[in-house]
Chains A and B, each alone.
Chain A
C-alpha cells in the first residue's frame, strides 16, 4: 500500500488584502503513483491549491505535508527536490540561450553531479520526444515544443511528483494528446502526476482520479467515471462532463462503469446492449 505523499489537513487560505477565502477547509490525501486531474472554474481554487503543494503559498491555517514534512517550514526551492511544478505558459519559465542550459538549470541548482546532469539531458529529451539540437535556442521552438521543453526542464530535477498547470492551453488536439501521452508514460514509470485542466475530454482519457473544486472547496473526489456520472453536482461547479457520459446516461441509464468512458468504449457498450435487446 502506498503511503500518502501529499496530505492536506483543513487547509484554509486567504490571499493578502482580500476578505474572501480562496481555499476553505480542504482535506485530501494523494498517494504515490496516482494520476489526478483537478478541475473547476477559474476562481474555484485549483491553482491556489496546487501552489500549496510546492510551497509557493503557505497555509493561512491548516497543514500541508509532502512526504510527511510540513511545507510551512520549507522553501519552494527546497521542495523542488520532490515536486516539479510546470507553469501554464512555458514563456514564464524559459529563459536560457540554449536548450542545454534550460534543461540543466534546475539540476544545477539542486547540486547534481556533472555525470548525473548529462544523463538527465538525454533521458528527458527522449521522454518528451524533443528531437532538437542541444545548442538550439528555445525561443525558436513551437508552442507545443516549448511546453514539452518546460516539462523536460522540470523533469530533469527527478521529482517524484509532477504538477502541471493547464498543460494544453492554446494547443491543438494533436499536441495536447502528445503531451498527455508523455505524461502518462511518466506516470507508468512511477511519477505521481497532478494536472489542472479545463479540457474534460483529456481528463476522461487520462486521469484515473478527479478532484472537483468549487468556490475554494472540494465538492467531488473519486474515480473519473464516478465523478463524471454526477452531472448535477458538476453543473453546480460550472462543469459539463464529457458528452460521452451524458450520452451514456441517456442511452444506457443502468450502466456500471469500471473505467473511464471513451467514444469507442461507449459504442461497444451500446452495440452489446442492442445485441442483448434482440435476444
Chain B
C-alpha cells in the first residue's frame, strides 16, 4: 500500500497551506463536508469546487490532485450520474427526453443527477485537498494534545491511528511475500472467479495473522518499555502548534463558504429544484 505512504508524504510538502496548523485545516475540511449536505444547487457546488482547485494552486498540489481525481471522479460519480436519471420519479410537469414504458428520463432528472454528482465531487475534492496538505501524523498528535489537555482523554486512540500508518505499509509488504510464497507452491491465486480467489486466500491469511499476532506481542512490550502509560494525562507533546493570522485566514475561507451555504438555505436558493 504505497498509496498510504504517498498520502503521508504529500502532506509533508512545503507551501503556505501546508504550513497552516493541521487543526485549522481539519475544521476547514469539516466545513466543506457539511456544505454538500446542505446544498444541492449545482452552481454553488461547482463554484466551491473551483475555489478549492484555485487553493490547490496556492498549495502547489494541483498536478497531484489532478492525477488522483481524474481517475477517482469518474469512479465515484460515474454510476450515480449514469443511473440516477432513470430513477428520478417522473411527474407530468417534467420535460421528458425519453418516455417509453418503464424508461423515463427527463431534463429535470438529468439536472438532478448532475447535482448529486457535484455533491460527491465537492466532498471528494475537499477530502483530497485536506489529505494532501496535511501532515496526518501531526494532526493526530495535535488532536491528541487537545484531547488530553482539554478533554482529559488518553493519547491511546491517536497513538493507534499513528501506529497503523506505520504498520500498514509493512503488513502489505508481508502480504506480498506471503502470496508469492503460495504462488511458488503451485497455488494459482490470481485466476478463477471472485469467490474462487477468495477461497484461495484462506491459507494465505494464516501466516499473515500469525505475523500480526507475534508482532502485536512485541509491540505491547515495546510500549511498556518506552514508558507509555494510558493513565498519564501529563504527557508532553513535542511538536508545537502555533496558530497565526494565516491560519485564521485559511479557516475563514471555509467558514465563509459555510455561511454562504446557510444563507442560501435560508433564502431558498440552496436546492437544485429552483432550476426546474
Contacts and interface: CB of A to CB of B under 8 A. Distances in A.
A–B contact (CB under 8 angstroms)? yes
Contact of B181 (A93, A96, A139, A157): A93
A76 B184 CA distance: 6
Interface in B33-56: none
Interface stretch (A37-45, A103-111, A241-249, A254-262): A103-111
Given A84-B184, A92-B174, A94-B207, 9 more contacts: A78-B186, A80-B183, A80-B185, A93-B181, A93-B185, A106-B185, A153-B185, A154-B185, A157-B185
Interface string B198-215: 000001101100110010
Contact of A92 (B178, B183, B186, B191): B178
Nearest to B214: A91
Contacts of B178: 92-93
A95 B183 contact: no
B180 interface: yes
B183 A76 contact: yes
Interface string A23-48: 00000000000000000000000000
Interface of B: 2, 174, 177-178, 180-191, 203-204, 206-207, 210-211, 214
A77 B2 contact: no
A92 B184 contact: no
B10 to A, nearest CB: 15
B73 to A, nearest CB: 22
A95 B178 CA distance: 10
A81 interface: yes
A265 to B, nearest CB: 37
A77 B203 contact: no
A82 to B, nearest CB: 11
A65 interface: no
A80 B186 contact: yes
Tell me whether chain A's interface is mostly helix, strand or loop, or mixed.
Answer: mixed
Given A17-B2, A91-B211, A92-B178, A77 B204 contact: no
B183 A77 contact: yes
Interface core residue of B178, B185, B187 (most chain A CB under 10 Å): B185
15 contacts: A17-B2, A75-B188, A76-B180, A77-B183, A77-B188, A80-B183, A80-B184, A87-B181, A89-B177, A91-B210, A93-B178, A95-B206, A109-B185, A109-B186, A110-B186
Contact of B186 (A17, A93, A106, A139): A106
A85 B185 CA distance: 8
A56 interface: yes
A225 interface: no
B181 A92 contact: yes
Interface of A: 17, 51, 54, 56, 75-78, 80-81, 83-85, 87, 89, 91-96, 105-106, 109-110, 139, 153-154, 157
B2 to A, nearest CB: 7
A96 B182 CA distance: 12
Nearest to A77: B188
Which of B174, B178, B186, B214 gathers most chain A CB within 10 Å? B186
Nearest to A55: B183
Contacts of A153: 185
A95 B184 contact: no
Contact of B185 (A78, A89, A105): A105
